[in-house]
Chains A and B, each alone.
Chain A
Amino acid sequence: MIEDKLLIWKFKRGSSDALCRIYEKYKDDLLRLAMSLLNDTTAAEDIVHDCFVNFAQSSQRLKTSGNLKSYLAASVANRARNWNRAKKRQGITGLNEAGPIVSTYKRPEQWIIDNEQFCRLNDALSQLSYEQREVVSLHLQGGMKFRAITELQGVSINTVQSRYRYGLDKLRSILDSEAKL
């Protein structure tokens, strides 16, 4: 936490080294979170890229009182939600309705290199409702507290905790059934 505060302090005073360190420190967490929320490698990469670019441009506006990782995770979650909405508006099947899909298209310079365990977990996550998936991902991968997620989702803490509990139960069930096969 102290390192984050110092990094933000330096970043706000124009240190690109601090920005690079923040990027190195949290890029994997944010990519993993974006993948969990979208289950689309290309979209996840774009969102994390945009999230960092926006963060880089916000040094003058940035409030530093909160938790940096949560701040970045919330930024990714908001963008992921917008991406999903836009996708729905375009008449493409929403992730909630779709079966497990993983972007199988591999670009020559793909950022995330998928591994099997990662793909399996994302498949399982994608079978949760979006709200459940968001709570589980933000809490476990984004490091956000339930209280912070309530602000993001606009629901009570009980609802957030329920979504988390039911989400984990469902994940357990999905992964258990896979293991039995």
Chain B
Amino acid sequence: MRPSENIEKLIKNINIKTNAKTDKAVLGDIVEAFEQSKKPVLSEVEGKDSAITQPSIWRIIMRSRITKLAAAAVIILAVLIGLNFLGVVGRGNVTWADVTQNILDANTAMFNLRIGSGNQIPPFLVIAGKNHLRQELGGTSTIIDYESGKMLVLNTNMKTAMFIDIAGLPQAPPNFLERLQKSIAKIKNDPNAVIESLGKKEINGKEAQGIHAYSGTSVDLTIWSDPQTNLPVLVETTKLGQTLIVMSDFKFNVPVDTSLFSMEIPEGYTEQKQTKIDLSNLSEQDLVTCLKTCSELMNGRLPDKLDLDTIQQQIADFDKSVVTSMAELNQQQQRGMEIMTTIIRGLTFVQNLKGQWQYYGKDVPAEDDNSAIFWYKPAGSENYRVIYRDFNIREQVTAPAMPKSKPEESKEIKTITEKMDRTVLCLNNIAIVAYPGFMFEDGSIVIVWSSAEKRPGQEGWYVGQEGEVISFIDKSQIGLFENLKAGDALPKLPIVISALKRHNLLGVGGTTEYAGRHLAYTEKNGKIYEWSIYVPQAKEKSNPYALSFEPVMEFNPERYAEEWNKSLFKFPIGRARYIINADNFESVFMGHMAEFSDKGQTPIITLKDVLQTSEQIRSSLIK
């Protein structure tokens, strides 16, 4: 055969051989590159959407290339704010003097720091008499120059640098070491301070002796030290039950290379856009804005405490916002920076207050307009400024009474609980849990749900006292799923979401009904999750603002014959939170499926499969 006779076939099919040894070496390089790329620093700074972790504003703050650097700066700021609590502390005695002498004599200090219940932030490096500080945190080095009010944040992995202007830093001795030294030095001159021994306890396997010093309600300082050397082991400081700051692992007089504090961008680093955190001209209005913002992000609730750590955790718990495009992500990042600045400004206002203040916004409901949530007495004033739950500020001559503590909530099992991302319905010995829906481009909805019943002697289900823990384990259910195909009728579980109804805006346009069919099922930790597809008769454009869907609930006729046709229960299961398209099908839809599967062993489903199933169901409905 002449080579030209089938030139295409020749080119297509020509074989090459590879050297197996080199092949193995190349594969080794590739796998190594892959493993490196999975390390958190790289993946986090890319700020990309992830299937497993749903992006929220707060998470975006922590994952974005730009805001991550700024967030690192804000953590340092929180430390600055927190260290204001290191105010004047008590009168000295021999023991106190012994313990603190090493701190007073230090020229340099290195120590680890923890704020609130957050992770430890290692380590801070400071030099007495210098207005700068360096801190290392997971590939990020932060250098703060208090005189110029600038921070230089270096990402040592990505070789990026960012200057942050900090306008209006709290007026306080800025050097951590000096601050501690000055606080201790003042003890001898403060006749009102109280100093008490805390005895001994073990810290990190070593015996330590404790001293607790406080002055009125403004200062609270505890130092645990090594009884042999009198060197401090742990310093705790707190104020009125707010932020707790713990310093530990002290090293004093460590040799320090002054170039570590240079505000010059190191060679090889790329400078990123400069940003600014403005802490100047703070007023009570900043606190009001901070509280309003928290309330908006937390479904009307206020934070338990006025500290960054608590607020950060609580917002992250409530904020389930989802981004579906890069443009949205950028907007969220911008919004994240605004939120961060707002919160920091509000908290800094509080921490800078010279006089008394109290916060008790926790558990005050949004509709309780006349309840005070915060009061303070401005320095030199006879009156109190009081912020009420409706965020109005009034001046009054007496401090408002602390709200009475609420009676403990009933421990009875709730019948319907909406918590986090799911809706739970529990009735006698049967229950169902439904999660938010996925809306596809043809208007069909997929909902994941599970249902089980408690049977005598069975490893049954459990509902937490506040509905917070739900567990459905009924291994016999698997038989209901084994022969089901996509498009088949729904499995006969104890309760079934047989259809959905969507009431159009303000009732105009009537109600759209969605017929439910089986799409797939997944198993995780012994539970079985049904993935049902609900299809409207007419194709609809996917609508992110669709109102709540009302599930039509039916009971299994084989076990609950009398209830079967009653369609007893109607409750909203929330709007379709995820709009699924070709770009996010793998990451969002399959990602969620993986979350509901043991070790990510999901059924093999493509977007095309879902749309084809939907079309088949729609055709059968029309017939």
Contact = CB atoms under 8 A, between A and B. Distances in A.
Our verdict on whether A and B bind, yes or no, reads yes
Interface in B43-63: 43, 46, 48, 50-52
A140 B48 CA distance: 35
Interface string A30-66: 0110011000000000000100110111111101110
Contacts of B51: 12-13
A52 B38 CA distance: 16
A6 interface: yes
A36 B22 CA distance: 20
Given A14-B38, A111-B22, A111-B26, A32 B7 contact: no
Contacts of A55: 30
A111 B43 CA distance: 32
Contacts of B37: 56-60
B587 A12 contact: yes
A175 interface: yes
Interface stretch (B10-18, B180-188, B443-451): B10-18
Interface of A is mostly: helix
Nearest to B27: A23
B3 A19 contact: no
Interface string A103-147: 000000111111101100100010000000000110011000000
A20 interface: yes
Contacts of A61: 46, 48
A136 B16 contact: no
Contacts of A36: 11
B11 A12 contact: no
B30 A52 contact: yes
A58 B26 CA distance: 17
B27 A20 contact: yes
Contacts of A178: 3
Interface residues of B, number: 45
A49 B586 contact: no
Contacts of B3: 175-176, 178-179
Contact of A111 (B2, B10, B18, B35): B18
| Most-contacted residue by chain A among B12, B21, B591 (CB, 10 A) | B12
Interface residues of A, number: 55
Contacts of B381: none
A158 interface: no
Nearest to B581: A65
Contacts of B33: 53, 56-57
A113 B17 contact: yes
A35 B29 CA distance: 21
B34 interface: yes
A160 B2 CA distance: 27
B594 A168 contact: no
Given A49-B26, A136-B11, A9 B586 contact: yes
B19 interface: yes
B508 interface: no
Contacts of A125: 11
B582 interface: yes
Contacts of B15: 28, 115, 118
**7 tightest A-B contacts by CB?**
A56-B34, A172-B4, A175-B3, A57-B37, A113-B17, A111-B22, A56-B33
